[in-house]
Structure 1
Amino acid sequence: MENISHLTVNNWMGDRNLPKEKRGKPNDFLVSYLLVPYKRIVNRISAHLTSFSCKTLTFLSMESVENPLLQNFIFPPYDIIEAKHVRPAIHSLLRKLESDLIELENTVEPTWPKLVVPLEKITDRLSVVWGIVNHLSSVKDSPEFRAAIEEVQPKKVEFQLKLGQSKPIYNAFRAIRDSSDWVTLSDARKRVVELKLKEAVLDGVSLEDGEREHFNQIQLELAKLSQKFEENILDATKMFEKIISDKNEVEGLPLTALTVAAEMAVLKGYAKATADDGPWAITLDGPSYRSVLQHSCNRSLREEVYRAHVTRASDGTLNNTPIIERILELRLEKAKLLGYSNFAEVSMETKMATIDKAKDLLDKLHSASWNPAIKDMEDLRDFAIGQGAKEAKDINHWDINFWSERLRESKYDINEEELRPYLSLPKVIDGLFKLTKKIFEIEIEPADGAAPVWNKDVSFYKIKDFSGSPIAYFYFDPYSRPSEKRGGAWMDVVVGRTGVLSCDGTSTRLPIAHIVCNQTPPTQDKPSLMTIREVEAVFHEFGHALQHMLTKQDEGFVAGSQGIEWDAVELPSQFMENWCYQRDIIMNIAKHYETGESLPEDLCLSILSARTFRAGSQLLRQLRYAGVDLELHSNYVPGGPKSIYDIDQRVGKKTHLIPLLPEDRFLCSFTHIFSDKYAAGYYSYQWAEVLAYDAFSAFEEAGLDNDKTLGEMGIRFRETILALGGGKSPNEVFLEFRGREPSPDAFLRYNGLLPAIVAA
């Protein structure tokens, strides 16, 4: 910290926005402008600088002293960032970056120091600051954040377009590719050049005049529509609530669900609500919705909640239908401007697959899962008949989860609620960290207090290698907060690994990640007690984070998951899910939260046996999502005789044994393809699953009970799949790890579907 005053004063003395009489008076400046506002900032960050060998700070301008978003922080100051900071921060940042872009275009040369280094600095600064804003809008939503983002987002998109369509930058990359020095570049640098050339073309660099202006208007409108799409879902989810006072109406709901429902009722003004006596607030938030569908004996309640869920954001002021239509229309226009027939072709430019290969995979998986799904439904009906259920011969969508859970309990002698006490979040996290230490040779330790957080339930961690040196950091935000946090689970980048943006100019900037879930929150007297699916979600998102955090790639544009073809990015996440179903891992994470007692052996074996329960039906459900996504982006004509729901119904006939409800509007909450990065790419989950299961089978072949060979395979996985990032193509990386091309056999075998596809 000894250099902070010196560097800041130098920056101040060059700031022409300050009054003339203030220039050249560093001591006066330090007292009046620097000391007071810096006191709390410096106190917070000084303790963390040594971890990064970074002892100097620089700032964009005087505005950074006032605005936490503009500080050159190491860990974002999440505790003090507010919506009021967004507008001035983004406006100021864009002015600075536009100036940097002009300078780059005027001085660019086809060399790494004169092209890639300054370009990375520009893109990184924007992605970090905007990433923080976007993150807070997802976990701490408010009308103020929404209004601020709505105002500044167009300017941000305009700058990104200007950057992506820069012909001086594009021509410099082409010159590198066409030069005699091309053969001397590393694989990673070649990938950077190829990536940037492809990005520029897809960003419209080749378009001229009117076409470029039209393209840019499309991009601006798409960004706005996607933001609105997600906001509507959050509002529609919050809008639904059902207050129940009659205990008979919540029959079947487990104590965990009743406790959460009572605590939700308290938040809604029912101060005397208790788990035993109610009232209870039922919502469309994930834990509440799933619990009702799985456990409520009240069929009419299940139906009401199911219908509300599949029609979210589909009417009134929150209706996403016109938004979807407009998004699809604009994507098709964009594709044609770029010279493609449809948007799916545009999407495949950044994928391993082609449209035909993606559809071929989906067809093969459909063949493998259809007959098992028929058997699943027959078993379900027979079981319900045996239980004397009135609805047995007329099972509908809101009955499937309920009777599936009863059948699973009967068939495997397993009860999800009986498992919860053995799957407490602290024990699950401890087991996860022990696993990664064992196979990847890393240490993960709590670092709460080392970085500001946005909510009291957020934890912060440091990852170290076995030498004790820090190599990465991550935040973990585990619990559902329906009033302010969007649903689902995800991993996001805070900052990525790069050699260009290190603090001291010699070492590498360490990666930092967000891991966000929406699992059952703790109650007053219990920690978060999880279902096995919630455990899977944590392992899944941690897999994404591992690829980001354990990369050894120093080229920032291809470090971690950057630059990886999108249908391969789910490989590490789905790979990690497999560990949830290994006996030793289950026994390690499953400890009773009160007694510390290990999970009984018979329950462990039941979990393993139940893994493939209704696997055919579950896969068909995913194939619906992937199939309708590809159809909408390759064959659907906006404004034509068929609606988006006609397409969904047609796909649904091939993937659902019970016809979709005519009023099903699932598409109105399909965030993956309308407000995330999976447009014409949802099939990526199945594509990457094939890779992930095949990769995991290598660990089986090495011997899951042999610590030596297991460790060797873990290091091999770390040094290839996790370390290389986008520096090589996914095919090359997989070949380097596995020694052969991927095979779907392991995926089908783990899901109990291999005989089905052989027979087909």
Structure 2
Amino acid sequence: MTTTTTIDPNLHLIDFDATDPVDLQVKVTDAIQQGNDFLDNIAASTDKDSNGISAKQALTDVMMFDHINLALDRSWGVLSHLNSVMSNDKIRHIHHELLPKLSAYGTRVGQHQPLFGRYQAIANDKEFFATLEPARARAIELALQSFELSGVALPKDKQDEFADIQSKLSTLSATFSDHILDATQAFALPLQQEQLAGLTESGLALLADAGEQHKARELASGTLTQADIDALPTPYYVATLNIPVYLAVMTHADNRELRETLYRAYVTRASEYDTHTNAKGESLNNADIMGQILQLREQKAQLLGFDNYAEVSLSTKMAESVAEVENFLRNLATKAKPTAEQDLAQLQECARDYDIAELQPWDSAYIAEKVKQNKFSLSQEEIRPYFPLPKVIDGLFAIVERLYGIKVQEQNSANESTKADSKAVSRWHDDVRFYQLFDADNNLLGGFYFDLFARNGKRGGAWMSGFQSRYSNDEQAYQQLPVCFMVGNFTPALDGKPSLLTHDEVLTLFHEFGHGLHHLLTQVTVGDVAGVNGVEWDAVELPSQFMENWAWESDGIALISSHVETGEPLPKDKLNALLAAKNFQSGMQTLRQIEFALFDLLIHAHTPALDYAGILATLNDVRNDIAIMETPDYNRFANGFSHIFAGGYAAGYYSYKWAELLSADAFSKFEEDGIFNPITGKAFRETILSVGGSLPAKTNFENFRGRSASIDALLRHNGFDDRGINTAANAQTTREVG
């Protein structure tokens, strides 16, 4: 239900209706100039002051610089966000044009000796440092580490080389991401009537909607005339690689040839097998880019005195070494493999019933759905009507209210109110919704946007962007509440019905909301360690994976399910089937994640840096070690692995499994105390969510759990048989996490 609460100015919301990419470009450029002017000024003052600078003055300068950089964080944050959710040629061009300037500025900051000297002055004055609030002290420590990893100690010629590497990496990563988006959107396969067998009503609606979008694009590009469009059948079904459409076909289409066609198109995106080009006629093949990225990362690592880039990545994480992470992954693979082999045998047995002699990857989702229907009497399509998005969202909010004593209220959008209305919130797309978060005493904690549906111009996947951190500066009389963007690519509303989610989509929503709560519930006002900032990357998935548990608990499901037409709750037989199927295919899914994580780790730990052939060879080696199902030779999964080539997960994809261990163990406390126990919820909020990165993740976890992490809950939650897990192996894993 929307409210009419006046917008708090401390939210500093963006007027997206008045936001233009060119204006953002000017603001970014101006903000960089302001930052450079400040650096010039402190360099000049440092040269004049031969007696050095006091810790107190150094802290004043550091805080002033943080405040100056708010303008850059804001303008660049908006432009980056729009490039992810509303990408077009104009936004992309401006975004990419700014990347080298931002990279150069970031490198200058990281290598600026006078600024570095101020952080050192604060840390070296032990008496002064001891008076700092813990969050500020932690931010200083992390900043000093960041300076070292930015090459502050390098000689001038090496610093210049480092800056050049950083600039090239930022551009290459952006191009890698562009290629995937363009390749995904370039594929469109009109379907014949005989190819539609098996597709569900909701799947057909998705394909018909994709057909309408395809016709509009073809007409706009001049490829088809209006007469051509009018001659097409109605409805016009088109298969695309957007995830809701892709999964609808792969899960339900009886036509095996169609499934293989789509599978091949999906796993060869942005590879040598992809013949599509961008608007400039350039190839979308990411092969050379991947090799260049690895080579540059290796050069960066060696400049910093590391043997390889994996060591650079792990230097800021909970895990201490490549060997530690590799042991963790291989140990978990050993635990998962027996279950995975049972999973595969189950699929193969069912496949024979559908005249599939040899199970292939394009059969997996299709046969898995048949097994669910046969073994568990569970069909995703049958339960989808019980998870209409508005009900799921209301239930999600009710769950966190019970857990943490917080309240969520939706706010009117600008097109629902007068333009001058102080209650109106501007949005970048009509699908977007804005909400405010309050504590039990009605104090505003922050705000967030939901942008949940797939569309053209929006990159795939789901993510939380911590656009604006909690921050305060008393000297500047400035207060800033946290604001974030939570983004998904769910099935849109069709045929006059609200969006109906699969349970997998429900889990994704809960996952991203867990990230959002980590960002929004922080009580830390030092921006560098507020919310998710400053949290070790292999612990940042703890709150998100933790939140998914409530979408698996019967009491939680009762709050998020209600039939879209009748309002009836999810029937007991379907609930039981859903819960019984919780660990269905968990072994194969775990091995798949380990395969990705181990591949990521090994390519970044390899010296010399691998070229494209070496990347593919490493992936094949990992598959031979880990996978239990053969992958086609043409599969080019790595070419679309955005997490590691265009995101923040390079040599860190293992974080999902590492944090899953932490989240499972954390949730086991709720299993002991009651899943809605308010005392336990308060403890989790205060020890994990509220403190953000102001303390090490290990400390936060142990403050909540009262001990180091254990693997037991992870194995139990995944349904793995823990017999034969020896004490030494368990102790090794515990040490790696703790």
Could you say whether these structures have the same fold, taking a TM-score greater than 0.5 normalized by the shorter chain as the test? yes
User: In structure 2, what is the Cα distance between the partners aligned to 1:327 and 1:276?
Assistant: 46
Kindly indicate whether the alpha-carbon contact (under 8 Å) linking 1:273 and 1:280 is maintained by their aligned counterparts in 2: no
User: In structure 1, what is the Cα distance between the partners aligned to 2:363 and 2:139?
Assistant: 51
1:280 counterpart = 2:237: yes
1:332 counterpart = 2:320: no
Deviation, structure 1 residue 641:
9.8
Question: In structure 2, what residue type is equivalent to 1:410?
Answer: N
Instruction: Give the structure 2 partner of residue 251 of structure 1.
Output: 197
Question: What are the Cα deviations for residues 257-294 of structure 1, in whole angstroms up to 9, with x where unaligned?
Answer: 11011011112228989999632110000011111111
User: In structure 2, what is the Cα distance between the partners aligned to 1:404 and 1:293?
Assistant: 11
Instruction: Give the structure 1 partner of residue 483 of structure 2.
Output: 512
User: In structure 2, what is the Cα distance between the partners aligned to 1:516 and 1:250?
Assistant: 30
Residue among 170, 173, 178 paired with 1:231: 178
Kindly indicate whether the alpha-carbon contact (under 8 Å) linking 1:423 and 1:591 is maintained by their aligned counterparts in 2: yes
User: In structure 1, what is the Cα distance between the partners aligned to 2:701 and 2:612?
Assistant: 44
Question: What are the Cα deviations for residues 369-403 of structure 1, in whole angstroms up to 9, with x where unaligned?
Answer: 11111111111111222x2x222x31111011111
Kindly indicate whether the alpha-carbon contact (under 8 Å) linking 2:172 and 2:293 is maintained by their aligned counterparts in 1: yes
1:203 counterpart = 2:150: yes
Residue among 439, 445, 451 paired with 2:425: 451
Kindly indicate whether the alpha-carbon contact (under 8 Å) linking 2:294 and 2:610 is maintained by their aligned counterparts in 1: no
User: In structure 2, what is the Cα distance between the partners aligned to 1:243 and 1:647?
Assistant: 36
Kindly indicate whether the alpha-carbon contact (under 8 Å) linking 1:366 and 1:623 is maintained by their aligned counterparts in 2: yes
Instruction: Give the structure 2 partner of residue 431 of structure 1.
Output: 395
Instruction: Give the structure 1 partner of residue 588 of structure 2.
Output: 617
User: In structure 2, what is the Cα distance between the partners aligned to 1:718 and 1:180?
Assistant: 31
1:399 counterpart = 2:366: no
1:544 counterpart = 2:515: yes
User: In structure 1, what is the Cα distance between the partners aligned to 2:374 and 2:26?
Assistant: 60
Kindly indicate whether the alpha-carbon contact (under 8 Å) linking 1:265 and 1:273 is maintained by their aligned counterparts in 2: no
1:130 counterpart = 2:76: yes
Kindly indicate whether the alpha-carbon contact (under 8 Å) linking 2:308 and 2:607 is maintained by their aligned counterparts in 1: no
User: In structure 2, what is the Cα distance between the partners aligned to 1:755 and 1:724?
Assistant: 34
Residue among 246, 252, 267 paired with 1:310: 267
Q: Tell me: higher relative CO, structure 1 or 2? Use CA pairs within 8 A at least 6 residues apart.
A: 2
Question: In structure 2, what residue type is equivalent to 1:659?
Answer: E
Cα RMSD, aligned residues only: 2.1
Question: What are the Cα deviations for residues 428-458 of structure 1, in whole angstroms up to 9, with x where unaligned?
Answer: 0000000000000001010132321100000
Kindly indicate whether the alpha-carbon contact (under 8 Å) linking 2:310 and 2:605 is maintained by their aligned counterparts in 1: yes
Instruction: Give the structure 1 partner of residue 417 of structure 2.
Output: none
Question: What are the Cα deviations for residues 215-257 of structure 1, in whole angstroms up to 9, with x where unaligned?
Answer: 100000000000000000000001111001x322011111111
Instruction: Give the structure 1 partner of residue 682 of structure 2.
Output: 715
Kindly indicate whether the alpha-carbon contact (under 8 Å) linking 2:5 and 2:411 is maintained by their aligned counterparts in 1: no
1:703 counterpart = 2:674: yes
- 1:494-573 to 2 correspondences below 5 Å: 494-500=467-473, 504-505=477-478, 508-573=479-544
Instruction: Give the structure 1 partner of residue 219 of structure 2.
Output: none
Pairs aligned (count):
684
User: In structure 1, what is the Cα distance between the partners aligned to 2:204 and 2:515?
Assistant: 33
Kindly indicate whether the alpha-carbon contact (under 8 Å) linking 2:554 and 2:575 is maintained by their aligned counterparts in 1: yes
TM-score by length of structure 1 reads 0.87
User: In structure 1, what is the Cα distance between the partners aligned to 2:661 and 2:24?
Assistant: 42
Deviation, structure 1 residue 639:
5.5
Kindly indicate whether the alpha-carbon contact (under 8 Å) linking 1:540 and 1:576 is maintained by their aligned counterparts in 2: yes
Kindly indicate whether the alpha-carbon contact (under 8 Å) linking 1:371 and 1:756 is maintained by their aligned counterparts in 2: no
- 1:321-720 to 2 correspondences below 5 Å: 321-354=287-320, 355-385=322-352, 387=353, 389-391=354-356, 393-449=357-413, 450-481=424-455, 483-500=456-473, 504-505=477-478, 508-635=479-606, 637-638=608-609, 643-704=614-675, 710-720=677-687
TM-score by length of structure 2 reads 0.90
User: In structure 1, what is the Cα distance between the partners aligned to 2:184 and 2:474?
Assistant: 40
Residue among 276, 283, 289 paired with 2:246: 289
Question: In structure 1, what residue type is equivalent to 2:429?
Answer: N
1:82 counterpart = 2:20: yes
User: In structure 2, what is the Cα distance between the partners aligned to 1:434 and 1:198?
Assistant: 41
Q: Which moved more, 1:96-105 or 1:439-448?
A: 96-105
User: In structure 1, what is the Cα distance between the partners aligned to 2:267 and 2:411?
Assistant: 40
User: Structure 2, unaligned stretches of length 5 or more?
Assistant: 47-52, 217-225, 276-282, 414-423, 730-738
User: In structure 1, what is the Cα distance between the partners aligned to 2:655 and 2:724?
Assistant: 20
Kindly indicate whether the alpha-carbon contact (under 8 Å) linking 2:205 and 2:495 is maintained by their aligned counterparts in 1: no
Inter-CA distance 757–166: structure 2 relative to 1 (3 Å threshold)? farther
Kindly indicate whether the alpha-carbon contact (under 8 Å) linking 2:452 and 2:488 is maintained by their aligned counterparts in 1: yes
Calculate percent identity across the aligned residue pairs. 37
Inter-CA distance 501–223: structure 2 relative to 1 (3 Å threshold)? farther
Deviation, structure 1 residue 185:
2.8
Instruction: Give the structure 2 partner of residue 68 of structure 1.
Output: none
Instruction: Give the structure 1 partner of residue 132 of structure 2.
Output: 185
User: In structure 2, what is the Cα distance between the partners aligned to 1:641 and 1:522?
Assistant: 41
User: In structure 1, what is the Cα distance between the partners aligned to 2:367 and 2:585?
Assistant: 12
User: In structure 2, what is the Cα distance between the partners aligned to 1:339 and 1:82?
Assistant: 43
Kindly indicate whether the alpha-carbon contact (under 8 Å) linking 1:131 and 1:493 is maintained by their aligned counterparts in 2: no
Q: Which moved more, 1:633-642 or 1:281-290?
A: 633-642
SS of residue paired to 1:404 = helix
SS of residue paired to 2:17 = coil
